[in-house]
Structure 1
Amino acid sequence: MSHKFTCNAVLFDLDGVLIDSTPNILRHWKTWADEHGMDIREIERVAHGLRTVETMRLVAPHLDAEQEARLFAEHELKDLTGITAVEGARELITSFNGMKWAVVTSGCRKLVHLRMGQAGLPVPEYLVTADDVISGKPSPEPYLKGAQLLGVKPQNCLVVEDAPAGIEAGTKAGMRVVAVASTHTRAMLAETQADGIVDRLADIRISPTGDGQILVTCG
C-alpha cells in the first residue's frame, strides 16, 4: 500500500537514511564501552538518533560527557571504514532538481561532510548538525531549525527518519514523518507516530506538483 504526501520541503536524517554507517558507529561505541567497562547493549538501546553527548549523558552520567564526546568525535573523524550510500539515496537526492530539501542530523558538521563525501553524496546547501542546536533529537529544535533555514513552515515539511528519537523530533516540530525500516523493524516503527513506513529508501519517490510543491510517493 502506497502513501502520498504533498509538501514544500523534505528534511532527511542522515545516518540510517541516506548513508549506511551503522557498523562504523557501533564499532566506535563498542570500543568506548569496553574502555569504560560498560555494556554495549545498553548503549545500543538508546544511541540511535541521539547526539553522542546526549547518549553519554544517559548511559554514563558520572563522566564528563562533553569531554568524552569530543574525544569520541576525534576517533570518528579518522575512520570512514564501511561508510556507504544507501540504495537509492543518490537518485533520490538528484531528483529534487531545485525543489527544497535539507539534511538534519545528530552528527557534527565536519563528520557529516566526510561521511557524505565517502559515500559519494553531495553535501546539501541546507544542513543542520549537532553543532547548530542546543538540544538534539528527540527535541524538535533540529527540525525546526531546518524548516527555518529553508524558509518553509514546519507543517509544510516532510521528515524522512529511521530512529524513534528522530521521528519524535519531527512530530513534535509539527511535521509529517515517513519512517524507513533500516535500523529498526517495521513493528518497532509502527509504535511511533510516523505517518508512513517504507522498507527501503528506494521506495520513496518525489516529483513536482506544478504549483511549487513536492509530491512524495512512498511504497
Structure 2
Amino acid sequence: MAVVGGDEGIGVELQLQIGGAVEVCQAVLFDMDGVLVDSMALIENQLRQWALQRGVDPQLVVDLSPGRTNAELVALVAPHLDAVAEERLLLELEVSTAGEVAACPGALALVAQLPVGSWAVVTSGNRPVAQARLRAAGFGVPGVLVTADDVTVGKPDPQGYEMAARLLGVAVEACVVVEDAVAGLMAAAAAGIRAVAVQGTGDVLDAPHEHAVESLEQVSLR
C-alpha cells in the first residue's frame, strides 16, 4: 500500500488481487446482500411470503427484486398497493430477522485487510436493515453506508455508488465496486467504476464487469 494525493484528497493505494488479476484503487465499494452478507435465501423466502399474502406472483417478485428498493419493487409488481405502507411492513420483517444472517465466504477476511476509510457499503436495503445485518454478520457498520434511505432512485442508477465515492473523498475512477446483481453492475458502469462480479444471481455475468469471481475468497489485498 502507498499513500497517494490528488484533487479528491489523500488516500491509500490498494492493490487488490482478484483471481489472477490485480486492480489498483483507493476504495472498494461493496454491495451488501449476496456479497458481504449471506442473506439471499432469507430475502427470497420473505418476498415469497409477502407475495403470496398480496396475491402477486412470488417468482416474479423474486426475479425483479435484485438492486431495487422495496418501495420500487412494490410499485412495479403491485401498483394497486400503497408502496409506502408495504415498504414499512417489509422493513419491520427484515429488521426482526436480521440476526439470522451470516457473512459470505471470504468477506470478513477481505474487509479486515482494508484500511479504515477505504471501503463503503452501497445497498438497496433500508438503513435499519443494513445496520442490523452488517452487525449480525460481524462487520459492524462502516463509516460510509449508503442505503435506500439516502438516494432518490435505486440501482441501476449510479447515484448510490457516486455518493459513496464522494463521501469517502475518492474519485469514482479510483474505486472498485463488488456486486452480485445485474442492476448493481449497471450502476457501477454508469458511474464509470470498475466492477467485480460475484457469481450468484442469475445472469449477472451478462452485465458489465471487469472481473468475475465465485466468492470473495478469491479476492485479497496484496
Normalising to structure 2: TM-score of the pair?
Answer: 0.88
Q: Does 1:193 align with 2:211?
A: no
Q: What is aligned with 2:112?
A: 94
Between the aligned partners of 2:117 and 2:165, the Cα distance in structure 1 is 14
Q: Any idea what SS the aligned residue of 1:130 has?
A: coil
Q: 2:45 is matched with which residue: 27, 35, 59?
A: 27
| 1:94-149 alpha-carbon deviations (Å, 9 max, x no partner) | 10134611011111111111111111222111111111111111110000000110
Q: SS where residue 187 of structure 2 aligns?
A: helix
The answer (yes or no) to whether the contact 1:24–1:80 under 8 Å persists in 2 is: no
- Number of aligned residue pairs: 204
The yes-or-no answer on 1:116 pairing with 2:134 is yes
CA contact (8 A) 1:23 1:82 kept: no
1:74 aligns with 2:92: yes
Q: Corresponding residue for 1:4?
A: 22
Whether 2:192 is the aligned partner of 1:177: answer no
Contact 2:31 2:123 in 1 (8 A): yes
Runs of 5+ unmatched residues, structure 1? 208-219
The residue aligned with 2:217 is 202
* CA-atom RMSD in angstroms: 1.3
Residue from 103, 110, 133 that aligns with 2:121: 103
1:151 and 2:169 are equivalent in the alignment: yes
The residue aligned with 1:217 is none
- How is 1:31-50 mapped onto 2 (pairs within 5 angstroms)? 31-50=49-68
Shift of 1:71: 1.4
Q: Structure 1 stretches (4+) deviating beyond 3 angstroms? A: none
| Shift in Å, 1:81 | 5.4
Distance in 2, Cα, partners of 1:19 & 1:79: 13
Cα separation, 2, equivalents of 1:189 and 1:204? 18
CA deviation map 1:56-77 (0-9, x unaligned): 1111112121221111101111
Secondary structure of 1:131's match?
A: coil
Distance, in Å, in 1 between the alignment partners of 2:167 and 2:104 is 25
Aligned to 2:101: 83
Which amino acid is 2:206 matched to?
E
Asked if 2 retains the 8 angstrom alpha-carbon contact of 1:189 and 1:197, the reply is: no
SS of the residue 2:100 aligns to: coil
**Distance in 2 between the 1:98 and 1:59 partners?**
40
Question: Amino acid of the residue matched to residue 41 of structure 1?
Answer: Q
Written as runs of structure 1 = structure 2, the 5 A alignment for 1:50-61 is 50-61=68-79
Find the aligned partners of 2:156 and 2:132 in 1 and give their Cα distance. Answer: 24
1:125 aligns with 2:140: no
Gaps of 5+ in 2: 1-18
- Which residue number corresponds to residue 15 of structure 1? 33
**Larger RCO: Structure 1 or Structure 2 (Cα < 8 Å, ≥ 6 residues apart)?**
1
Distance across 1 between alignment mates of 2:94 and 2:101: 11
